[in-house]
A and B are shown apart, each in its own frame.
Chain A
Amino acid sequence: MTPITVRVDGAAYTDDVEPRTLLVHYLREQLGKVGTVVGCDTSNCGACTVHLDGEAVKSCTVLAVQADGCEVTTIEGVARGAVLHPVQKAFHEMHGLQCGYCTPGMIMASIDLLKDNPDPSEDEVREGIEGNLCRCTGYQNIVRAVQHAAAEMRGDTSASNGHSGNGHVRPAVVDTAAAPHVAVQA
């Protein structure tokens, strides 16, 4: 057993872990941070993506002991109190999720992508989230969500409608009230 101290979603934890314990298992099983999930055993799916000292990592490829002294942010820690992160909001607005299993990882990867590239093209989003698999959505609405969030984070309100390139539904211009049923429980 090795002692570690990690800050996760703002709280400090001190624990003894087996040297072979993966960060994702530490988060889920020892800290109860079950919002972060596991989708594969070959680091292909990205479902387990978290931020380690501000950078997106697949938490199944990091040992818990490597996170000693680090700051981890999971999907459970990205909202500011009751206010969703713009990327969370955009996934909801643009219907960027169905079953939601890939969603925590997708959102964490997308936040990281937008940090490096605040105005990504469709292809740049597709390549940027290539390490995250989704079996439900066909990715189009995820791309839409990431670009929508990017526009909002840039403070650009005009750009959010145009790039769907799709004659059928442009969610951003469909009139629905601001989804009052979505709020983070305190």
Chain B
Amino acid sequence: MTAVEERAEAAAPEVGKARRRKEDARLITGRTQWTDNLVLPGMLHLAVVRSPVAHARIASVDVTAAREAPNVVAVFTGADLAEEQGSLPCAWPVTPDMVNPGHPSVAVDRVNHVGEAVAVVVARSRVAAQDALELVDVDYEPLPVVLDMEAALADGAARVHDHIDSNRSFHFVFDAGEMGTGSATDQAFDDAEVVVSRRFVQQRLIPAFMEPRAVVVQPQGDNYTMWSSTQVPHILRLMLAMVTGTPEHKLRVIAPDVGGGFGGKLQVTPEEVLTFLVARRLGKPVKWAENRSESLMSAHHGRDQIQYIDIASDRQGNVKGLRCRILADMGAYLRLVTPGVPILGAFMFLGIYKFPAYRFECDGVFTNKTPTDAYRGAGRPEATFAVERIMDELAVELGMDPLELRRKNWINADEFPFTTAAGLEYDSGDYDAATREALQLIGYDELREEQRRRRESGDPVQLGIGFSTFTEMCGLAPSRVLGSLSYGAGGWEHAAIRMLPTGKVEVVTGASAHGQGHETAWSQLVADRLGVPFEDIEVLHGDTSVAPRGLDTYGSRSLVVGGVAVVNAAEKVVAKARRVAAHLLEASEEDLEFSGGSFGVRGTPGTGISIQEIALATFAAHNFPEGMEPSIDAEATFDPENFSFPHGTHICAMEVDTETGFVKIRKYACVDDVGTIVNPLIVEGQVHGGLAQGIAQALYEEAVYDEDGNLTTGTFVDYLVPSAADLPHFDTGNTVHAAPGNPIGAKGVGEAGCIASTPAVVNAALDAVRHLGVTDIRMPLTPERVWRPIHQGGDGGDRAPAGSNAYGGAQTETTTGVSTEASALGGDR
């Protein structure tokens, strides 16, 4: 091997390599540190008494028996903690007159949803605390239960909160005509040759991260350390200071290994505050760890919208306008970004299409249910579903091929950057290229042929093909944009790089991973920039003492915001090291070139000094440039100018058994453009996981409340997280259009699969049975919901399904036959 080849090999970039993850070592051997693993000397255990009723006045709470129970140390009610608990924060007042009723961590005189905390028991062991829960005697005076959003907004409706005027929290409007980003919407509809209107329902979902939440708080004098299974240690620290009045610099928050989040751990929870308050009162370490039923009932839910969508077009299928009226279920309270979720979607209803006119209105509605908040995609899946479904409906109305209609209206590759009527500037992409690849990947022509054959022969099993040609906005977020939307914080991210004397490198990131593989991807980024080996890099995160600045992980922001901060910090390290190298090599900085981790004088081979050697020279500082502080460490904070806009084409081929209503995904193919790919393994994994969740919304999952406001899907027996047997093989591919807005060129991938897949699946099912007169099927597509419109018309009915087809056998007494006329009455829609 010649020297030249050797150099070239050494320089093979890390970015783009399918590096196996650094994180795996501890995870595959059980050497993990989940919050619930933590045991501290003298630690007490906290358990929460939860309301069994959806809406009531608390007449009395008797804790005498519980206090006397063996090994119980203390019991606190809402009244005990009322003075110090403050209100859980809502960081996103989406309109100036938004009504926030306040959110106590433990109910004081009213409960507003099943599962709300009414008291806490503190004991020597978890078992003792749990045993004493039933000894707490709470007297509830029932109040009328508000569950249905449309009924909740009617005149004279019972109110969730009687200290506020109505069940409406806010009314948010974006009108492109008024904002000057598009033409007048009503005019567009008045002039339109074709208008199609639909009502879509985005059912309520539960994030259902696999690691149940847990919190440990350790007081040390007037300092407190909190370990929490959270996505957002930095936000939690700040909010904890604001809620409890404990000064911020006295608080340290650690997110150790965190077992998934999906937005569900993007929260400041009642249990975190309560564990903190109790530890502060007792001066002892306290742990709270939930069980799954508690988690499903009390951790925030997601989605839950009713969408009225109107689309206007001419006869040739040129779209003229889109009008959306959304009801978004807030649940009983506003949590961290509850009202912001539908607003994040507000700007994405136009999808990839050139609508000249757009109007969006949204009401945030209170009901006696668990609060909603972020769940993978947060607003964008809802928007994407609406536009991708209504495009299919318009295609049917016009008698056009759904893909031809899309092609006619989407932004062409040569039109980027393109500003939509919602005012967003889409950065780059090629929708046609992704579509062509996806069609090939799925074998489109054969599938259409098979569909025709089955149709002609009247096969009881029909085949349908559904599309979703989507885009989403990633990289939350330019701080100025968040400011214009009244969000309570910025959207930057921070990083620091520390060059250790032995040449090893510590990378500190404010992005707090919980399964996304930051340790690996960040190592790849830094290895390329500094020219040091991948193995020589350690990534530190998730502890506010170690990584003091950050805005954490959500909204597909980590790589495109946090990764850029890391890259910028690395560039600063190189700039400082260059000055040291010039001094040590007695050359001028301009004459140095940096490659493969070494500085050398241009044109003088063999003169090099590596950045790792410079790290040692910096530690010794014996011979350092005049006037330069002896450090080549650097920090960077990156605030993006714009969002990035990944896109892709997802195609689902679905078999529908018209006799049983059973659906089966025959093939699923997608081609995503997420910009530059740092690690193809991680990207593919993110797409797979997102697809699973998006498909699960379409086929399996729904949080169901009965007419009294009880969550009837409160265990994994009833809330159907799909198993391996319930999901198909995915054929995935990528096109790459680098994001112009950041030096990595990445666009974000964490939510893409989840945002794109749901409408593709529903469109596929409808495509299979349209010829039988079916026009809509309500999600999730359980056999019952699919069978009904085929045989009886309608959209499959309001309520939850008989035990649906996840698990292939997990149907139980509790799930079969829930869907009755009577149970529909109490519906949340």
On A, residues with C-beta under 8 Å from B are: 18, 28-29, 33-42, 44-45, 47, 74-76, 79, 84, 88, 91-93, 95, 97-104, 107, 122, 125-127, 129-143, 165-169, 171, 174, 176, 179-185
Cross-interface CB contact of A44 among B17, B23, B26, B716, cutoff 8 Å: B716
Q: Which of A47, A97, A183 has the most CB of B within 10 A?
A: A97
Of A41, A75, A95, which one neighbours B20 at CB under 8 angstroms? A95
* Size bracket, chain B contacts: 35 or more
Taken together as a complex, chains A and B put the C-alpha atoms of A18 and B122 apart, in Å, by 21
Contacts of B685 in A (CB 8 A): 95, 98, 136-138, 141
17 contacts between A and B (CB under 8 A): A35-B29, A35-B31, A37-B34, A37-B211, A37-B259, A40-B291, A91-B28, A100-B24, A101-B259, A135-B210, A135-B260, A135-B721, A141-B688, A174-B680, A174-B681, A176-B17, A181-B20
B407 lies within 8 A of chain A by Cβ: no
Cβ of B444 within 8 Å of any chain A Cβ, yes or no, is no
Q: B88 at the A/B interface (Cβ < 8 Å)?
A: no
Q: Is the CB–CB distance between A140 and B715 below 8 Å? A: no
Which residues of chain A come closer than 8 Å to B18, judged between CB atoms?
169, 171, 174, 176
Q: Which residues of chain A come closer than 8 Å to B684, judged between CB atoms? A: 95, 141, 168-169
Q: Is B209 an interface residue (CB 8 A)?
A: yes
Q: Which of B335-343, B514-522, B591-599 contacts A (4 or more CB under 8 A)?
A: B514-522
Which residues of A are found within 8 Å of B31, using beta-carbon distances?
35, 76, 185
Interface string of B269-299 (1 = CB under 8 A from A): 0000000000000000000000111000000
**Nearest chain A CB to B678 CB, angstrom units:** 13
What is the CA–CA distance of A76 and B30 in the complex, to the nearest angstrom?
Answer: 5
Which residues of A have CB within 8 Å of B680?
168-169, 174
In this complex, which of A138, A169, A183 has the most chain B Cβ atoms within 10 angstroms of its Cβ?
Answer: A138
| Contact in complex: A41, B715 (CB < 8 Å) | yes
A131 and B19 contact, CB distance less than 8 A: no
Give bound CA distance, A37 to B259, whole Å. 11
A19 to B506, CA, bound (A): 49
Decide: B724 and A142 in contact? CB cutoff 8 A: yes
| Residue of B whose beta carbon sits closest to that of A101 | B259
The 8 A CB mask of B766-810 against A (1 = contact, 0 = none) is: 000000000000000000000000000000000000000001101
Contacts of A179 in B (CB 8 A): 20
Distance in angstroms between the alpha carbons of A29 and B258 in the assembled complex: 19
> Chain A contacts of B210 at CB under 8 A?
39, 45, 47, 99, 101-102, 133-136
B32 touches A34 (CB 8 A): yes
With A139-B724, A140-B730 known to touch, is A88 a contact of B29 (CB < 8 Å)? yes
B27 interface hit (Cβ, 8 Å) = yes
Q: Which residues of B contact A103 (CB under 8 A)?
A: 27-28
Is residue B729 contacting chain A, with contact meaning CB distance below 8 A?
Answer: yes
**How distant is B684 from chain A, measured CB to nearest CB, in Å?**
5
A23 to chain B, nearest CB (A): 15
Shortest CB–CB separation between residue A94 and chain B, in angstroms? 9
A107 closest partner in B (C-beta): B28
> Which chain B residues lie closer than 8 Å to A102 at the CB level?
210
CA distance A5 to B731 in the complex (A): 50
Contact check, A97 vs B28: say whether CB atoms are below 8 A apart: yes
Q: Are B517 and A98 in contact (CB under 8 A)?
A: yes
Asked whether any CB of chain A lies closer than 8 Å to the CB of B198, the reply is no
Contact A133 B692 (CB under 8 A): no
A47 to B34, CA, bound (A): 13
Q: Is the CB of B807 within 8 A of A140?
A: no
Given A35-B31, A42-B715, answer yes or no on A165-B731 (Cβ-Cβ < 8 Å): yes
Which residues of B have CB within 8 Å of A125?
A: 724
How distant is B31 from chain A, measured CB to nearest CB, in Å? 7
Q: Which residues of A contact B257 (CB under 8 A)?
A: 99-100
CB distance from A27 to the nearest CB of B (A): 11
Distance in Å: Cβ of B529 to nearest Cβ of chain A = 19
Query: In this complex, what residue of A is CB-closest to B534?
Result: A181
Cross-interface CB contact of A35 among B22, B32, B716, cutoff 8 Å: B32
What A residues does B29 contact at CB under 8 A? 35, 75-76, 79, 84, 88, 184
What 1/0 mask marks residues of chain B from 213 to 249 whose CB sits below 8 Å from any chain A CB?
Answer: 0000000000000000000000000000000000000
A29 to B287, alpha carbons, bound, how many Å? 14
Judge whether A135 and B292 touch: CB under 8 Å: no
- Tell me if B688 and A140 are in contact (CB < 8 A): yes
Let me know if B24 and A97 touch, CB within 8 A. Answer: yes
Contacts of B690 in A (CB 8 A): 138
Given A99-B258, A182-B20, A182-B25, do A138 and B730 touch, yes or no (CB 8 Å)? yes
- Nearest CB in chain A to that of B681: its residue: A95
Cβ A136 vs Cβ B260 within 8 A: yes
Rank and list the top 3 A-B pairs by shortest CB-CB distance, nearest first.
A35-B30, A100-B27, A101-B259
